[in-house]
Amino acid sequence: MLTLHHLNDSRSQRILWLLEELGTPYEMRRYQRDVETRLAPPELKEVHPLGKSPVITDGDRTIAESGAIVDYIIRSYGKDAMMPPPGSADYEAYNEWLHYAEGSAMLPLMLNLYVGRLKEAGAPLHPRIDSELANHLGYVDRALQGREFFVGASLTGADIQMSFVGEMAKVFGRLGPYRNLAAWLERMHARPAFQRSVAKGGPYRFA
């Protein structure tokens, strides 16, 4: 049985959402952030040496890293749903979004988070952070122009993987100019499977 090691208010929310979309049987073990430091608890290091979430175990396999987990679950349990056929042009776009979310789009958002803690002292970095946020969020927003989903005509792992980018942009108050992205995020959060994932995973501050 696949086990999701779920940390509250984290990237593992999207794995829980994916499992609910697919109807894959799974077990969930819940971990809570330290209330003061917001760091993951040390128990997660017993699952994977990085001590982070999401991480899944499935038989003798342990897989960390959101993009790799989304890809693994859809390939293994998706029954050809939620991904374009391998070899198609859509497949390459799909795979690019899987990598792009954490590989590129999250960097300016995480810089904004960390450098924001410096208050005024971080001011010299904000022009660059802001221009990168505009570059990435503008790109994502244009990619969603006239589209309901990132790839093809139905929900795929690309939507799942990109959800955290939309959520962080929203949390930081950066969604304003990006109406396609904002509307897409609302559609995703309205999905019954997403709602179930919040009901089962516990409060999610980014929903």
Nearest-approach distance from CB 107 to a second copy, in angstroms: 6
Residue 99 is a binding residue for a second copy (CB under 8 A): yes
Element spanning 106, H or E: helix 106-116
- Ranges within 38-67 binding a second copy (CB under 8 A): 49-52, 60-61, 63-67
Complete edge-to-edge strand list for the sheet that includes strand 26-31: 26-31, 2-7, 55-58, 61-64
Alpha carbons 97 and 161: distance in angstroms, whole number: 8
- Ranges within 102-161 binding a second copy (CB under 8 A): 102-104, 106-107, 110-111, 114-115, 117-118, 121-122, 124-125, 128, 135-136, 139, 142
Element spanning 29, H or E: strand 26-31
Give the SS3 label for residue 6: strand
Nearest-approach distance from CB 38 to a second copy, in angstroms: 11
User: Nearest-CA neighbor of 157 among 96, 200, 108, 113?
Assistant: 96
- Applying CB under 8 A, the residues found at the interface with a second copy are 49-52, 60-61, 63-68, 71-72, 89, 92, 95-96, 98-100, 102-104, 106-107, 110-111, 114-115, 117-118, 121-122, 124-125, 128, 135-136, 139, 142
